[in-house]
């Protein structure tokens, strides 16, 4: 994989609550320079970022009900609609984790359907990724964890979403893992996979892609891209 191909699979992310507008501006400049797939930022910055990114070829991604996913589905739907109207191309939605822990497929699916319908009514081409906190699900144990991931993938697929995303990067159980990506790949059945949380170097980035990830979310994008160029 060339450095350019690697960069095209990275969502350059800044989701710290203390991020300033100047930090977002720098993030956007870096994404354009390195030709990353997207920037991933908080909803408050989306409208201004959409103007800065116009015509750049870099997608604009934001997060919904981040980082806990505990808002009501109606609130998530409103937030998603507002974000795409502000100019977001992609939405990383935090699923309601108890639905997945309890293997409650119907509730998980219905929540996502409400969000998908609202967002796509405002922007039909919106890409929707669903964050499942895979480390928390795997902490349930091998059997329950795999069952929860299978339920999550099915709910995400049948609700019309596009991606399964491993993690917010803010959960105490941890971020992405090779085990999680492989399990998601097993049940994805047409869904794409975004690995995020704890991807800090080139070796980890490559390992996630080799395990089956289609996209990587990281705040260490520039360092990874520079390391890839040095390996040529």
Options 89, 92, 162, 214, the catalytic residue: 92
Nearest C-alpha neighbor of 105 from the set 167, 157, 64, 154: 154
- In the prediction, which pLDDT does 206 show? 98
- In the prediction, which pLDDT does 57 show? 97
Please name every residue paired with 39 in a beta bridge, in sequence order, or none if there are none.
Answer: 12, 60
Averaged pLDDT score across all residues of the chain:
97
Q: Which CATH number does 3-230 carry?
A: 3.20.20.70
Options 9, 76, 129, 165, the catalytic residue: 165
Query: What does pTM read for this prediction?
Result: 0.97
Options 76, 129, 194, 214, the catalytic residue: 194
Could you tell me what percent of the chain has a pLDDT over 90? Answer: 99
Give the mean model confidence (pLDDT) for residues 147-171: 98
- In the prediction, which pLDDT does 6 show? 98
Q: Where are the domains of the chain?
A: 3-230
Q: Residue 190, Cβ neighbours under 10 Å: how many?
A: 7
Instruction: Based on the residue annotation, tell me whether 92 is a catalytic residue of this protein.
Output: yes
Instruction: Based on the residue annotation, tell me whether 165 is a catalytic residue of this protein.
Output: yes
Give the mean model confidence (pLDDT) for residues 119-148: 98
Inform me whether the pLDDT recorded for 232 exceeds 90: no
Inform me whether the pLDDT recorded for 74 exceeds 80: yes
């Amino acid at each position: 994989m060339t450095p350019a191909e690697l960069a095209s699979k990275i969502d350059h992310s800044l989701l710290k609550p203390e991020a300033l507008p100047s930090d977002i501006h720098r993030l956007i400049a870096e994404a354009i320079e390195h030709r990353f797939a997207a920037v991933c930022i908080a909803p408050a910055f989306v409208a201004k970022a959409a103007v800065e990114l116009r015509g750049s070829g870099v997608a604009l991604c934001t997060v919904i009900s981040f980082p806990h996913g505990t808002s009501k589905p109606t609130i998530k739907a409103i937030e998603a609609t507002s974000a795409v109207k502000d100019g977001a191309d992609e939405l990383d939605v935090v699923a309601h984790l108890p639905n997945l822990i309890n293997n409650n497929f119907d509730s998980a699916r219905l929540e996502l359907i409400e969000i998908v319908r609202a967002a796509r009514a405002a922007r039909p081409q919106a890409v929707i990724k669903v964050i499942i906190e895979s480390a928390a699900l795997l902490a349930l144990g091998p059997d329950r964890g795999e069952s929860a991931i299978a339920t999550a993938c099915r709910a995400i697929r049948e609700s019309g979403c596009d991606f399964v995303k491993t993690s917010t990067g803010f959960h105490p159980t941890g971020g992405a893992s090779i085990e999680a990506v492989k399990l998601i790949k097993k049940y994805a059945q047409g869904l794409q996979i975004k690995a995020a949380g704890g991807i800090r170097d080139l070796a980890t980035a490559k390992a996630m892609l080799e395990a089956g990830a289609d996209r990587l979310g990281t705040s260490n994008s520039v360092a990874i891209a520079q390391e890839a160029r040095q390996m040529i």
